[in-house]
C-alpha cells in the first residue's frame, strides 16, 4: 500500500512538473526600464524633431525614462534594422518617416521586412509637399508648366536632395502621371537643390511645403500645386494636384512609430495612448506647426493602413522610372 501511495505521488509530481514547464512565463510589467526611441536619421530632421518633442511627455505618462538615439545611415536602414532585431517588449521603438516606404523599393536586400518585422504603434504627423518652380514668364499654372515641358522634352531640369529620396520619387511619380519628360539633377541635400532652383539653374522641384514657404511668400519661387488631400491653410490659393485632375498625386510626407514584430498588444495600446496624449499638448502642436508638421492622433491601424499602399506605389514608380538607389 505504501508503495502504491508513493507511486501515485511520484506520478502526480511528474505531471505537475510537466504542467509547470508548459506554462508561459509571466510577462514583465511595462515599462520596466528605459525606453529608447531610435531615429534612423540625423539630428534636426523631421522625425528627430518630433521624437524629441514627444519623449519627455511620454516619460511622464509611462513613468519611465525615455531617450532618443540617432542611428543614421543607408537611408535609414541601419537604425531600422537595429529596432527590427530588438526585443519585442516595447522598450525599443522606431521613429521613422516616409523613407520607410520608399527605401524597400530601392534596396532589394534589406535585412528586415518593412511590414513583417514591425508592429505599427502610431502615425504621429504628416507634412504637405509642394510643386514649385523658378518664376518664368507665362507660367502661372501647373498646366502651363506641363505644356512648356512637353514642347521641349528633356531640355528642362528639376532638382532633388538626392537620388532615391522621397522628393526624387515623388517628382518621378508626377512625371509618370503627366507624361512630362524633365531631367533629374540630384544634389547632396535640400540646400543645394533649393539654391540652384533659386538661381534658375533648374526649373522645378518637389519639396516640403515648409521648406519652400519663405521663398514663395517673397516671390522668389512660385508654388503651382500642393500634393496634399486638401489645400494648405498657409497657401489657400494654391490648388491641390487632385483638384487639377491628378487624383493619384496625393503624397504626404509622414512620420510614424513602430515597435519590433511580436510586441504585446497591451504594450502597443499603452504606447499609442501615451504618444497620442503627447501629440495633443498645445506646445507640441505649436512647435510642430512652426515646422510645417500636422500632428496626427489615431489608432495603430491608421499607420498599418498607410504603409501597404505606400510600398506598392513606390515599387511602381521605381520600376516605371527605372530608378537605381545610390
- List pLDDT tens digits, range 185-228: 999 888 889 999 999 999 999 998 888 999 999 999 999 999 99
Distances (CA, A) of 319 to 168, 277, 323: 14, 40, 7
Look at residue 27 in the predicted model and tell me its pLDDT: 62
Contacts of 270 (CB under 8 A, 6+ apart): 30, 62, 90
Look at residue 5 in the predicted model and tell me its pLDDT: 45
Q: What integer is the mean pLDDT of 296-321?
A: 94
The burial class, CB within 10 Å (0-12 / 13-18 / 19+), for 244 is: middle
pLDDT-based confidence at residue 101 (cuts at 50, 70, 90): very high
Q: What integer is the mean pLDDT of 93-120?
A: 95
Question: Contact, 121 vs 271, CB < 8 A?
Answer: yes
Look at residue 15 in the predicted model and tell me its pLDDT: 42
pLDDT top residue among 146 and 163 = 146
Query: Which of these, 181, 187, 148, 142, lies nearest to 167 by C-alpha position?
Result: 187
Rg (CA), the chain: 25
Look at residue 7 in the predicted model and tell me its pLDDT: 44
pLDDT-based confidence at residue 9 (cuts at 50, 70, 90): very low
pLDDT beyond 90 at 169: yes
Look at residue 50 in the predicted model and tell me its pLDDT: 94
Can you tell me the distance from the alpha carbon of 131 to that of 206, in angstroms, rounded to the nearest whole number? 5
pLDDT beyond 80 at 24: no
Q: What integer is the mean pLDDT of 304-312?
A: 94
Query: How many angstroms from the chain centroid is the CA of residue 221?
Result: 27
Look at residue 116 in the predicted model and tell me its pLDDT: 97
Q: What integer is the mean pLDDT of 90-115?
A: 95
Mean pLDDT value across the chain: 90
The burial class, CB within 10 Å (0-12 / 13-18 / 19+), for 163 is: middle
Look at residue 240 in the predicted model and tell me its pLDDT: 97
Can you tell me the distance from the alpha carbon of 20 to that of 311, in angstroms, rounded to the nearest whole number? 44
pLDDT beyond 70 at 1: no
- Length of the chain (residues): 326
Place of cell 516671390: 219
For residue range 235-292, what is the model confidence (pLDDT) as tens digits? 999 999 999 999 999 998 999 999 999 999 999 999 999 999 999 999 999 999 888 8
Look at residue 202 in the predicted model and tell me its pLDDT: 97
Query: How many angstroms from the chain centroid is the CA of residue 22?
Result: 41
pLDDT top residue among 234 and 155 = 155
Q: What integer is the mean pLDDT of 98-118?
A: 94
pLDDT beyond 50 at 14: no
pLDDT beyond 60 at 20: no
Look at residue 325 in the predicted model and tell me its pLDDT: 63
Q: What integer is the mean pLDDT of 137-165?
A: 95
Amino acid at each position: 500500500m505504501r508503495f502504491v501511495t508513493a507511486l501515485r505521488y511520484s506520478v502526480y509530481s511528474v505531471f505537475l512538473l510537466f504542467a509547470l514547464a508548459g506554462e508561459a512565463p509571466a510577462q514583465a510589467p511595462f515599462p520596466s526600464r528605459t525606453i529608447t526611441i531610435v531615429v534612423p536619421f540625423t539630428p534636426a530632421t523631421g522625425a528627430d524633431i518630433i521624437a524629441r518633442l514627444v519623449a519627455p511627455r511620454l516619460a511622464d505618462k509611462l513613468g519611465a525614462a525615455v531617450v532618443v538615439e540617432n542611428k543614421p545611415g543607408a537611408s535609414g536602414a541601419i537604425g531600422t534594422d537595429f529596432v527590427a532585431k530588438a526585443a519585442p517588449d516595447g522598450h525599443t521603438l522606431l521613429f521613422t518617416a516616409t523613407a520607410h516606404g520608399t527605401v524597400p523599393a530601392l534596396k532589394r536586400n534589406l535585412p528586415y521586412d518593412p511590414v513583417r518585422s514591425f508592429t505599427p504603434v502610431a502615425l504621429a504627423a504628416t507634412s504637405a509637399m509642394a510643386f514649385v518652380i523658378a518664376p518664368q514668364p507665362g507660367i502661372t499654372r501647373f498646366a502651363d508648366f506641363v505644356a512648356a515641358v512637353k514642347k521641349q522634352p528633356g531640355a528642362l531640369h528639376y532638382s532633388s536632395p538626392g537620388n532615391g529620396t522621397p522628393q526624387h520619387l515623388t517628382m518621378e511619380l508626377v512625371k509618370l502621371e503627366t507624361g512630362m519628360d524633365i531631367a533629374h539633377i540630384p544634389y547632396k541635400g535640400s540646400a543645394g537643390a533649393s539654391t540652384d532652383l533659386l538661381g534658375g539653374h533648374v526649373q522645378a522641384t518637389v519639396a516640403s511645403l515648409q521648406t519652400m514657404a519663405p521663398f514663395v511668400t517673397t516671390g522668389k519661387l512660385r508654388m503651382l500645386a500642393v500634393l496634399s488631400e486638401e489645400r494648405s491653410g498657409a497657401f489657400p490659393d494654391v490648388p491641390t494636384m487632385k483638384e487639377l485632375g491628378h487624383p493619384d498625386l496625393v503624397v504626404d510626407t509622414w512620420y510614424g512609430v513602430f515597435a519590433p514584430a511580436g510586441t504585446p498588444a497591451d504594450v502597443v495600446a499603452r504606447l499609442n495612448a501615451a504618444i497620442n496624449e503627447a501629440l495633443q499638448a498645445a506646445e507640441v502642436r505649436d512647435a510642430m506647426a512652426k515646422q510645417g508638421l500636422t500632428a496626427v492622433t489615431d489608432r495603430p491601424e491608421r499607420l498599418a493602413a498607410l504603409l501597404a499602399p505606400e510600398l506598392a506605389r513606390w515599387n511602381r514608380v521605381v520600376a516605371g522610372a527605372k530608378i537605381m538607389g545610390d
